[in-house]
Amino acid sequence: MTEQHTTSRHIERAKTHATELAEQAQETLRSEARARAEQAQSKAAGEAAAVARAADAAASELPQGSLQAQAAQQLAQGLEQVADTIRTADLEKVLRDTGAFARKNPMLFLGGAALLGFAATRFLKSTAPDATTGRAVADDATGDPWAAYETGDGSPASDSDYSRGGMTQSPTRRVS
């Protein structure tokens, strides 16, 4: 019976050790998640502040007192307030509030998340350097049968594109 008692004691120690390891792992994951969330919070606040500065700079380029300048200044002020709010927000409270809102209004939450995703994508695309400008112009030109004549780079897709009432019209080619 002592052998069974010893085995039982080893099993209990192993269970205790496994529980301690699981708690340590969980705490490590929590602290890592918290650190990453704080980094994301800081980055989001910095991005909002950068956009606020850009809106303020745009406002200074517009005619003083114009409607556009006033709108840009209000946008800059609003974005600066958003940046301050993000910078000082309690992440756990924000997550709790967001979760509660999502549970109460799931469709509105999903719609807002999709809209935010689309807006973020448009913003990132508009601020990214455009290395494909030449290719985009070429793609646009291939979809337009008159583009070749306008740029002087070739002929239209076919003569049938220009026929009306059985008559074929031949456009004059512009020479560059």
Average of per-residue pLDDT values in the chain: 75
Range of the domain at 101: 1-110
The answer to the question of residue 75 being in a domain is: yes
The answer to the question of residue 164 being in a domain is: no
The answer to the question of residue 143 being in a domain is: no
Dist CA 1 CA 90 (whole Å): 57
Task: Tell me how far apart the 2 most distant CA atoms of the chain are, in Å.
Answer: 109
**pLDDT of 156 above 80:** no
Instruction: Name the nearest CA neighbour of 156 among 134, 137, 173.
Output: 173
Owner of token pair 């809106």? 55
The answer to the question of residue 62 being in a domain is: yes
Dist CA 39 CA 42 (whole Å): 5
**Tens-digit pLDDT profile for residues 34-64:** 888 888 888 888 888 888 888 888 888 888 8
Residue of 107 and 121 predicted with greater confidence: 107
Residue 166: pLDDT band with limits 50, 70, 90: very low
Domain count, the chain: 1
φ, ψ at 128 (rounded to 5°): -75, 145
